[in-house]
Amino acid sequence: MNYDLTDEQQMIYKMMKEFSDEVVAPGAEQRDKDKAFPKEIFDQLGKLGIMGLPFPEEYGGSGADTISFAIAVEELSRACGSTGITYSAHVSLGGAPLNLFGTEGQKKDYLVPICTGESLGAFGLTEPNAGSDAGGTETEAKLVNGEWVINGSKCFITNASYAKIVPVTAITARKDGKKEISAIIVPTDKMGFSVKAPYEKMGLNASDTTEIYVEDVHVPEDFMLGKRGEGFKQFLITLDGGRIGIGAMAVGIAQAAYEKALAYAKERTQFGRSISKFQAIQFKLADMAMKLELARGMLYKAAWLKDHGRKFSKEASMCKLYASEICMETCRDAIQIHGGNGYMKEYQVERYMRDAKLLEIGEGTSEVQRMVIAREIGC
């Protein structure tokens, strides 16, 4: 079993580490404070060919594999969680459904701008009454004279303010008390489409998270994404890939918290010696290092399975669940190692924990991941 990264993966790692350290990290603390979305960072990533990293070159992508995507998300998140989630959602929720289910025309019209960075990618799934139970979708689309007329709302949508289109899930028919759910592409410049001002959030403050409203929006019949009635199936497939992105975010943030804690423990002196010499601190750091290594291994395995066309639903949920939970543990212990300083914003570790909490909730809560895993093992 070869654990070495390929030459291409090593190149992506080197480039993303340098970019994250030199471009993303320096302003991360101020962006969090100001709730400032860093559009210029994504413009630069577009020029580097990173915005379409795992998508085919014919649509403006770079044709890289899922492990390379995970590395990119991990490094961006290590520097800034807000940048990491924006990029992860852009690719795994915005671009992936178009690449997987779009027609040739839809890919040329809508995937290409996502790959170049001209548009950020977004996906409209969650609703006020349809969170973990996505089948509770209430947004509705009716076919009238060759057009879909769509009404409804979506919440907690990442990147919608900077997207040219948002595919939304909607009820396209009802039969015997059951909903037929489909995905339909909605251009954001259509009359009746609106984005509410971003939420006030606990963390990830420099990312764009909004509600969207779709009121009597008309789109042509061929704006259906994939097959009619398969929207539910499509978003489950999409979320499997998205969970790899969340796992990568968790590994990146945990890495940042661990590095800060280790450096602080070596520098901070109490009772005449570095606190890294005390067993209580050593054990915390040892556990951080071990859990981080395990999480990264699970992340790369899930990505490898996806790259090789193998079933990866269970591994994606395991990766997302484990990485997000050890990320919170690592951030908590990093704050504890910093003592009173860890509670202060200037030491950054409190930001890591605020950012990390979303990872146990978004794209399926920890409880939902355990449900998926239980189903996959035959319970």
Active site residues: 363
Determine the Cα angle at 70 with ends 288 and 183, to 5°.
125
Q: Enumerate residues 6+ apart whose C-beta is below 8 A from 24.
A: 38, 41, 76, 79, 80, 83
SS3 per residue for 65-97: CHHHHHHHHHHHHHHCHHHHHHHHHHHHHHHHH
Residues, the chain: 379
Beta carbons within 8 Å of 278's beta carbon, 6+ residues apart:
none
Record the tokens describing residue 344, joined without a space.
């202060």
User: What is the number of other CB atoms lying within 10 angstroms of the CB of residue 179?
Assistant: 19
Cβ–Cβ under 8 Å, residues 149 and 26: no
Spatial CA neighbour of 230 closest among 299, 163, 291, 173: 173
Instruction: Confirm if 223 and 184 have CB atoms less than 8 A apart.
Output: yes
* Cβ pair 212, 193 in contact under 8 A: yes
Q: What is the DSSP letter of 159?
A: S
Sign of the CA dihedral running 368, 371, 376, 377 = positive
Torsional class of 52: left (φ above 0), alpha (ψ -120 to 50), beta (otherwise)? alpha
Other C-beta atoms within 10 Å of 323: how many? 30
The Cα–Cα gap between 350 and 53 comes to 31
Q: Are 353 and 330 in contact (CB under 8 A)?
A: no
